[in-house]
Amino acid sequence: MDAVRFKTQPYTCSYLPFETASLEYRIAADVTEAEYGEMLRRGWRRFGCDFFRPACARCVKCRSLRIDVEKFKPSESQRRNLRGNAGLRIVAQSPTVTADHLRLYNDFHEDMRLRRGWPRQVQSEAGYWETFVAGGDGFAREFLYFDGDRLVGVALADVLADALSSVYFFHDPRLRSRGLGVFSVLREVEFARGLGLRWQYLGYWIAECQSMAYKSQYRPYEILERYPGDDKSYAAFTHFTFNVANKLGALMGPRYTKEIKHGAFENPYFNPARNEVFRVLGIQPGPQFNAAHSDSAVSGTAGLQYLFDSSKMAYVTYSRGFKAGGITLDTNAAGLVANNPAIVPGATPLNPTYRPEKIDGVEAGFKADYLDGKARSNVAVFYDKISDLQVAQFLGLQFAVLNAPSAKVYGAEIENTYRVTRDITLTAAATALTRRVRRKPSWRMPRPRCRLPSAMFRRIAAPRSAVCP
């Protein structure tokens, strides 16, 4: 759905002037209703084809707020507001732009400039269309409030499958004492309830900002605790067994996986002085980056098993494992000062992404029960080949996830159990392992010492992987 995705440079917050703000943007004209509903739940807002949400480095005071439409009950003052504005005529329709819209919008913003210090804004027909009419095909609505034949208020909203999102409201400043903003929210709640919708989103609530703090008076409500990431993972898989012959069975479990990840780093608060200690050491500031990474793979398991009788079984399996690549989220993931083109002209940032890891494994084994079912022995041999092994390393000045070209793990294990009594069982096990890791000479890091604990390996059920601490 994304045509453009970016994050703004830090700027002085227009709601809290003592804070520094930044917005994350996604610009798209073909968003489906289902996609938009999921974005709302993740704290996004829409103006035209622009979707945005806060991405501030330190401040988290903008909280997405939604009213529980099913449980909402107006307060006494809100009921008085409804009675006082009962004479207004309301028209609900798809968004439009007329001379009356523009006059009302500009009068409202001029009044807010004079009373609350809002920046001067004069909206044109093209600007209004781009902000409030475009991008809402199928779900955008406007509620027009008329006092007689005079337009006195305009509310923009998006109506989705389970929610209504209040986009914007402006009104005739001469009727400020009538509380048309409150009236508009209450009528939108009624509209949402009439459609059987569960939620009404009011945008961002900021307790310390007069223009945004009013939203908490509509109870009960919920606030979004944090803005979740937009990384996506898709998978389709199945697993089945079947009989090939009388004593020969087979198993198969194919899987398709696709993962999409995003990661970014900005450093707006770094002290740029040349004698700053991390600057002198050549560590900071590292290059900023905004990266995306996508992987897809087919993996799974296939195997055969042969039943000699009800107490003895042999098997052989092949498995392909997959661990997606990603983006290293470290202040130096794209390099050091020497890689920062903002400090060193012509410098080239490093790539903060790393490749997916894949493992091909083969295992053969034998399982037997004996001594009237009191004892069991399992014997297995295995061989795993890993490509692009992901290794997390500290390289002296930075943390990084690197890919070793390949690794091999092979060995054998035996497990024995014996049930002495109903409450006592004895267990003995042994594992022999051999591992080899091939690494690139260009890493320039201490030789990794890889530990491959036997507990990391699970027979048949899951592929194995080597872990280098």
371 and 330 co-located in one domain: yes
Closest CA relative to residue 323, chosen from 389, 384, 262, 270: 389
The pLDDT assigned to 444 comes to: 38
How much of the chain is helix, strand and coil, in % rounded to 5? 20, 45, 40
Residue 139 · residue 36 · CB < 8 Å:
yes
> Which H/E stretch holds residue 191?
helix 180-194
The pLDDT assigned to 27 comes to: 87
Phi, psi at residue 362, to the nearest 5°? -125, 140
Contacts 24+ apart (CB under 8 A), 344-350: 347/287, 349/287, 349/289, 350/287
236 and 218 co-located in one domain: no
Residue 367 has pLDDT above 50, yes or no: yes
> Which H/E stretch holds residue 278?
helix 277-280
439 and 360 co-located in one domain: yes
The pLDDT assigned to 239 comes to: 92
The pLDDT assigned to 3 comes to: 58
Domain containing 287 — which CATH number? 2.40.170.20
The CA-based dihedral angle spanning residues 122, 112, 210, 124, taken in that order and rounded to the nearest 10 degrees: -20
Mean pLDDT across 21-49:
89
213 and 275 co-located in one domain: no
Say how far apart CA 259 and CA 299 lie, in whole Å: 14
The pLDDT assigned to 269 comes to: 47
Mean pLDDT across 79-106:
97
Residue 109 has pLDDT above 50, yes or no: yes
Residue 463 has pLDDT above 50, yes or no: no
247 and 348 co-located in one domain: yes
Residue 107 has pLDDT above 70, yes or no: yes
Closest CA relative to residue 77, chosen from 179, 176, 168, 152: 179
The pLDDT assigned to 394 comes to: 78
For the chain, state the CA radius of gyration.
31
pTM above 0.75, yes or no: no
Say how far apart CA 156 and CA 444 lie, in whole Å: 59
386 and 353 co-located in one domain: yes
What are the CA-CA distances from residue 255 to residues 235, 262, 322 (Å)? 7, 23, 10
pLDDT tens per residue across span 226-239: 666 667 889 999 99
- Predicted confidence band of residue 253 (pLDDT cuts 50, 70, 90): very high
Among 205, 223, 241, which residue terminates a domain? 223
Residue 447 has pLDDT above 80, yes or no: no
313 and 414 co-located in one domain: yes
Above pLDDT 90, what percent of the chain? 59
Q: Does residue 431 lie in a domain region? A: yes
Say how far apart CA 372 and CA 60 lie, in whole Å: 65
Question: 3-state DSSP call for residue 450?
Answer: coil
Mean pLDDT across 313-328:
93
11 and 104 co-located in one domain: yes
Greatest mean pLDDT among 280-289, 371-380, 449-458 lies in: 371-380
Closest CA relative to residue 87, chosen from 213, 180, 216: 180
Q: Does residue 358 lie in a domain region? A: yes
Q: Does residue 467 lie in a domain region? A: no
Q: Does residue 462 lie in a domain region? A: no
Closest CA relative to residue 283, chosen from 299, 298, 271, 297: 271
The pLDDT assigned to 145 comes to: 98
Residue 320 · residue 362 · CB < 8 Å:
no
Q: How many domains does the chain have?
A: 2
Residue 359 has pLDDT above 80, yes or no: yes
212 and 239 co-located in one domain: no
Whole-number average pLDDT of the chain: 86
Q: For the chain, what's the residue count?
A: 469
- Encode burial over 185-210: b for 16+ CB neighbours within 10 A, e otherwise: bbbbbebbeeeebbbbbbbbbbeebe
Q: What tokens does 325 get? A: 């690549």
What are the CA-CA distances from residue 382 to residues 85, 307, 319 (Å)? 78, 20, 11
268 is in which domain, residue-wise? 232-456
Mean pLDDT across 49-55:
91
- Concatenating the DSSP letter of every residue in 77-139 gives HHHHHHHHTTT-EEEEES----HHHHHHHHHHHHHHHHHH-PPP----HHHHIIIIITT-TTT
- Predicted confidence band of residue 342 (pLDDT cuts 50, 70, 90): confident
Least confident of 14-18, 48-52, 303-307, 392-396: 392-396
Residue 257 · residue 299 · CB < 8 Å:
yes
Domain containing 153 — which CATH number? 3.40.630
Among 168, 198, 223, which residue terminates a domain? 223
Among 165, 197, 223, which residue terminates a domain? 223
Residue 415 · residue 427 · CB < 8 Å:
yes
Q: Does residue 404 lie in a domain region? A: yes
- Predicted confidence band of residue 143 (pLDDT cuts 50, 70, 90): very high
| CA distance from start to end of the chain | 39
Q: Does residue 466 lie in a domain region? A: no
Least confident of 158-172, 225-239, 433-447: 433-447
Say how far apart CA 121 and CA 111 lie, in whole Å: 11
Above pLDDT 70, what percent of the chain? 90
40 and 120 co-located in one domain: yes
Q: Does residue 465 lie in a domain region? A: no
Q: Does residue 66 lie in a domain region? A: yes
The pLDDT assigned to 169 comes to: 97
Q: What tokens does 54 get? A: 């806060």
pLDDT tens per residue across span 177-194: 999 999 999 999 999 999
Cis peptide before 285 (omega within 30 of 0): yes
Mean pLDDT across 62-74:
94
29 and 12 co-located in one domain: yes
237 and 329 co-located in one domain: yes
Select the more confidently predicted residue: 190 or 333.
190
DSSP letter at 36 equals H
pLDDT tens per residue across span 408-417: 999 999 999 9
Greatest mean pLDDT among 281-285, 374-378, 396-400 lies in: 374-378
Say how far apart CA 382 and CA 321 lie, in whole Å: 15
Phi, psi at residue 443, to the nearest 5°? -65, -40
Residue 420 has pLDDT above 50, yes or no: yes
Q: What tokens does 415 get? A: 């497990």
Select the more confidently predicted residue: 137 or 266.
137
